[in-house]
Amino acid sequence: MVSAYYHDDKDTPDNFTEAHNSGEPVSLEALEKIGVLYFNIKTEDELNQVAKERNYKNRDVVNLNLDSFGGDLDAYNAKMQTFYKEHYHEDEEIRYIVEGEGYFDVRNKNDRWIRTKLTPNDLLILPAGIYHRFTLTSELKQVKAVRLFQDEPKWEAINRDLGKNSEARVSYVKAIST
């Protein structure tokens, strides 16, 4: 079951994979208010039902772990550092955790980081336009996740430091400001 809490804001690219738990929990209702949806999915039939209801037609599986980098901890850490940059996408981002664990950080209305720790059977849906980032946990360093897509994946990350506000970003901000 997902755990969600406010991030302690003491991270750096080098320690991004640590828990950074401020001790302030965040409810699923608070996540929903910023458009982030959570499901606990125990079977493939349940996953297929969510996909059908939300019109997700495509999917793939991603495996990310230390072995993906030939056991090279420096290469692994370098990749985790690239995940540090916050960004948004013009499509929803959907992840279903099959094995392992990871953190999704999302910004709330007040631009504060909320960290969600996902473990097996957790499915998280991030709305198009929300600033976020993802990393593996320092303890396990492994995740196998199903990615779901409504169409063919475009997969362009629009980094916050670019200052670009596409229609997806403008629509998202408008949706959570009411």
Instruction: Please check if 132 is assigned to a binding site.
Output: yes
Residue 116, token pair as written in the block: 């969600």
Cα(first)–Cα(last) distance of the chain, in Å?
A: 29
Instruction: Please check if 87 is assigned to a binding site.
Output: yes
Burial class for 57, CB neighbours closer than 10 Å (0-12, 13-18, 19+) = exposed
Banded pLDDT at 51 (limits 50, 70, 90):
very high
Query: pLDDT (tens digit, 9 = 90+) per residue, 8-40?
Result: 999 999 999 999 999 999 999 999 999 999 999
Asked whether the predicted pLDDT for residue 55 surpasses 90, the reply is: yes
With a pLDDT cut of 70, the percent of the chain lying above it is: 99
Residue 58 has phi, psi (to 5 degrees) of -125, 155
Query: pLDDT (tens digit, 9 = 90+) per residue, 149-158?
Result: 988 776 689 9
pLDDT at 178: 74
pLDDT at 154: 67
Calculate the average pLDDT of the chain: 95
Q: Are 144 and 69 in contact (CB under 8 A)?
A: no
Element (H, E) at 76: helix 73-82
Instruction: Please check if 93 is assigned to a binding site.
Output: yes
The structural domains of the chain, with segments of one domain joined by +, span: 3-176
For the domain bounded by 3-176, which CATH number is listed? 2.60.120.10
At 16 the three-state DSSP class reads coil
Query: pLDDT (tens digit, 9 = 90+) per residue, 71-111?
Result: 999 999 999 998 999 999 999 999 999 999 999 999 999 99
